[in-house]
Amino acid sequence: MSVLVEQVTCSRHGQVILRNVSLEMKTGEVMGLLGPNGAGKTTLIRLMAGLARPDAGHIRVFGEDAARRSVKFRRLIGLVPQENTFESELTIEQSMLCTAKLYGIVDARTRVEEVCRQFQIGSWRKKYPEKLSGGMKRRAMIARAMLPSPDVLLLDEPSVGLDPDMRQDIWQAVRNLKAAGKTVLLTTHYMEEAEELCDRIAFLRAGQVLYTGTTTGIRQQISPEQEISLEDAFLALALEGRRIG
């Protein structure tokens, strides 16, 4: 088991955001975290990355407690947040070089070259982030997260707001990560994306996990008699909020 989320509860300003959330991820698995806005997906991702601490429960990545943020833990995990986190004063290449140095990569320049080739980041790596499209930035952010080659990658809505071409690029990048044996957790609002990329999904609503399993499984459990789309299953869960599976 590469990621273990055990009975995690998290609140902020007196409001419970996550309530007894438990999840397991196998090594090399791509899991989709689905749920309506405000379900707690981004909070869970931040807790898993060690950027915040839960009120109760534990998150372990290969046995390392996320709340403790050990050096080993930080080398295991990579995060691509929703928002652009490239420094506006640095070019993409400079930013990647800085990240490589922060991770103590000995030949930082060579590693940056290698990752840029792998993620097809061309000459635009010399540009400042403000000059790039959303898709380019997103792809570069995934590439930057992969510089230290983490075993677990957390992607918070990796393809939101992208045109179909760019979305395909991001999907291919995720497939490549899976092929390389990486464990990937991604949040998404696109059912098509979940079906295309994820081995399993977890459905979160109002801070609780209502379902964990395959996309086929969720459809069958919501509607055993009649074949329905994942979107219909999503809507049924989002509106009713009943726990299944």
Residues that bind another protein (CB under 8 A): 12, 43, 46, 49-53, 69, 71, 74-75, 77-79, 81, 83-90, 94, 98-99, 101-104, 148
Interacting residues of 102 by C-beta distance below 8 A, sequence separation 6+: none
Nearer to another protein among residue 82 and residue 208 (C-beta): 82
Q: Where are the beta strands (DSSP E) in 86-225?
A: 152-156, 183-187, 200-205, 208-213
Spatial distance between the Cα atoms of 51 and 36, rounded to a whole number of angstroms: 22
Spatial distance between the Cα atoms of 104 and 149, rounded to a whole number of angstroms: 12
Min dist. Cβ of residue 92 to another protein (A)? 13
Nearer to another protein among residue 42 and residue 229 (C-beta): 42
Min dist. Cβ of residue 50 to another protein (A)? 8
Min dist. Cβ of residue 81 to another protein (A)? 7
Min dist. Cβ of residue 69 to another protein (A)? 8
Min dist. Cβ of residue 158 to another protein (A)? 16
Looking at 36-163, list the stretches that DSSP marks H as alpha helix, in order from N- to C-terminal side.
41-48, 71-76, 92-102, 108-118, 134-146
Nearer to another protein among residue 51 and residue 239 (C-beta): 51
Q: For residue 222, what are its two tokens? A: 């919501």
Min dist. Cβ of residue 60 to another protein (A)? 17
Handedness of CA 190, 53, 177, 143 (dihedral sign): positive
Nearer to another protein among residue 101 and residue 242 (C-beta): 101
Nearer to another protein among residue 71 and residue 179 (C-beta): 71
Nearer to another protein among residue 106 and residue 179 (C-beta): 106
Interacting residues of 60 by C-beta distance below 8 A, sequence separation 6+: 3, 4, 6, 66
How many angstroms separate the Cα of 156 from the Cα of each of 146, 214, 236? Answer: 15, 20, 23
